[in-house]
Amino acid sequence: MTETSKTFLAKSTIKAADLDHRRKINFNIGKYNAAVPNGKAQFSNVHLARERAKNAKWRAIETLDEQLENFEKVFSANGGKVIWAETGEDAIAAILAICKEKNCKTLVKSKSMVTEEIHLNKAMEANDIESIETDLGEYIQQLDDEPPYHIVTPAMHKSKEDVARLFNQKLGTDPNLTPTELTLVARKILREKYVQAEVGITGANFIISDIGGVALTENEGNGRLTCAFPKTHIVVVGIEKMIPSLTDLGLFWPLLSTFGTGQKITSYNSVITGPRKAAETDGPEEMYVILLDNGRTNILDNPIQRESLYCIRCGACLNACPVYKNIGGHAYGVTYSGPIGSIITPHLQGMQEFKHLSYASSLCGNCTEVCAVKINLHELLIDNRKESVEDGYTSLAEKAAWKIWRMACQSRMMMNMGNGKFKNKVVNGIAKDWTRNRADLNFSKKTFNQMWKDRMK
């Protein structure tokens, strides 16, 4: 067992028994579940919309090389600069070089999972650059020195009382502030940062090939301020976020908001195609897009797992997952949690270290049922397990156990042998991990085959 899987098991065991955690998660996911039908009501045929989105992503991913090159050509023609980053380190090095050139002391950033993936804040801190999260949930998490708990709602595990306590400890505010008052405190602090910051960093919900554009969708307006106030805007985006055409947004924006938060459309939707032009009054003087690989081409190279690159990060599969709802987002110990995280992480960060995530699933298929772009998530989880076995990452004990199981299942004599007490003793002894949190396995005195024979006599 690897260290990462031991840590995962230890953290999950604690969280699964934490009833206060479960209460908060159920409350917040309950609100989400109540909102989603409102969003879905806008589609005359939501299944067809999901199929069409899946087809559009299929097209984008199957022709990703051409789409990316076209994006670069058009975006560059509009005055933007494209940087290709093979690894997270390459992306950080590029950002630091830009910050150095701009003499950047403070940068503002909007919510972006890819910047979590490359550990941007820590890298900036190590280089004496203040990096401020401007999304309220991310700001709360940054104050608490915690990574996001959920890919859409970063502070989902915190109650309003938890946030009031945190603000009191870190900012000295009244511990009984209401959510509105807490938001105003954050707003006042953050507004000053936009003006100070030399650089603004955002992610991208989509990159659009035909117009060389970056699509951003958000509810707080902080993304827009991050793009528009600082003189330099850097976008960090995974290469899989590609969609072929601007016209695809008519489908993807309502789909993302419906499955992400239950809204018909998110409050602020921006398409940015380059830095400010001569006749324009707003926007940055310079704009960079960093196209990040960081293991995504490993997934692209895998004909089965390639489908996971269609993900639009709506978070619906996390909210639907019984495992996520029990162990929470932090127990996974990786940037992308929940079903989609369990599928892509072994390919992004190493099968040996992270294969255990693909086993952390009941395979109930609820994730597949709710996926905005109809990714066959539970099948990809099974395929990851298969791949990890083929790659030889199975312990000798497990291999031996399956061998014995196979021999036993193929032999009627062995199946009928010692049912009842003997089998209970042997199997419950072997399956200690299984019975630790469950009732003992209880074999009947006779097998079905023996009972059937008796009956037929």
Q: Which residues bind ligand SF4 (CB under 6 A)?
A: 259, 311-317, 340, 370-373, 375, 377
Q: Which residue matches tokens 């010692």?
A: 418
Residue 24, both tokens: 């908060």
Q: Which lies closer to ligand SF4 via its Cβ, residue 218 or residue 286?
A: 218
Q: Which lies closer to ligand SF4 via its Cβ, residue 104 or residue 372?
A: 372
- Closest CB 224 distance from ligand SF4, rounded Å: 24
- Closest CB 220 distance from ligand SF4, rounded Å: 20
Q: Which lies closer to ligand SF4 via its Cβ, residue 108 or residue 114?
A: 114
Q: Are 226 and 109 in contact (CB under 8 A)?
A: yes
Q: Which lies closer to ligand SF4 via its Cβ, residue 55 or residue 87?
A: 55
Q: Which lies closer to ligand SF4 via its Cβ, residue 284 or residue 341?
A: 341
Q: Which lies closer to ligand SF4 via its Cβ, residue 163 or residue 340?
A: 340
Give the residue from 422, 415, 354, 410 showing the smallest Cα distance to 385.
354
Q: Are 441 and 428 in contact (CB under 8 A)?
A: yes
- Closest CB 343 distance from ligand SF4, rounded Å: 8
How far apart CA 103 and CA 412 sit, in angstroms, is 76
Q: Counting Cβ atoms within 10 Å, is residue 45 exposed (0-12), middle (13-18) or buried (19+)? A: exposed
- Closest CB 299 distance from ligand SF4, rounded Å: 13
- Closest CB 31 distance from ligand SF4, rounded Å: 18
Strand order in the sheet with 213-218: 242-243, 206-208, 213-218, 268-272
- Integer Rg of the chain from CA: 25
Give the residue from 260, 242, 246, 397 showing the smallest Cα distance to 320.
260
Residue 258, both tokens: 């419906």
Q: Which lies closer to ligand SF4 via its Cβ, residue 299 or residue 371?
A: 371
Sign of CA dihedral 31, 34, 37, 39: negative
Which residues are 207's β-sheet partners? 214, 242
Q: In angstroms, how far is CA 124 from the centroid of its own chain?
A: 22
How far apart CA 274 and CA 80 sit, in angstroms, is 5
- Closest CB 371 distance from ligand SF4, rounded Å: 3
Q: Which lies closer to ligand SF4 via its Cβ, residue 208 or residue 373?
A: 373
Q: Which lies closer to ligand SF4 via its Cβ, residue 166 or residue 255?
A: 255
Q: Looking at the chain, how many residues does it have?
A: 457
- Closest CB 377 distance from ligand SF4, rounded Å: 6
Q: Which residue matches tokens 């280089």?
A: 127
Q: Which lies closer to ligand SF4 via its Cβ, residue 104 or residue 373?
A: 373
- Closest CB 56 distance from ligand SF4, rounded Å: 13
Residue 15 host element (H or E): helix 3-16
Looking at residue 294, the DSSP 8-state letter turns out to be T
Residue 352, both tokens: 């040996």
Give the residue from 117, 85, 60 showing the smallest Cα distance to 307.
60
DSSP secondary structure letters along 431-450: THHHHTSSPPP---SS-HHH
- Closest CB 199 distance from ligand SF4, rounded Å: 29
Give the residue from 290, 207, 289, 282 showing the smallest Cα distance to 252.
207
Q: Counting Cβ atoms within 10 Å, is residue 280 exposed (0-12), middle (13-18) or buried (19+)? A: exposed
Q: What share of residues in the chain are helix, strand, coil (percent, to 5)? A: 60, 10, 30
Residue 380, both tokens: 């990809």
- Closest CB 48 distance from ligand SF4, rounded Å: 17
- Closest CB 324 distance from ligand SF4, rounded Å: 11
Q: Which lies closer to ligand SF4 via its Cβ, residue 253 or residue 259?
A: 259
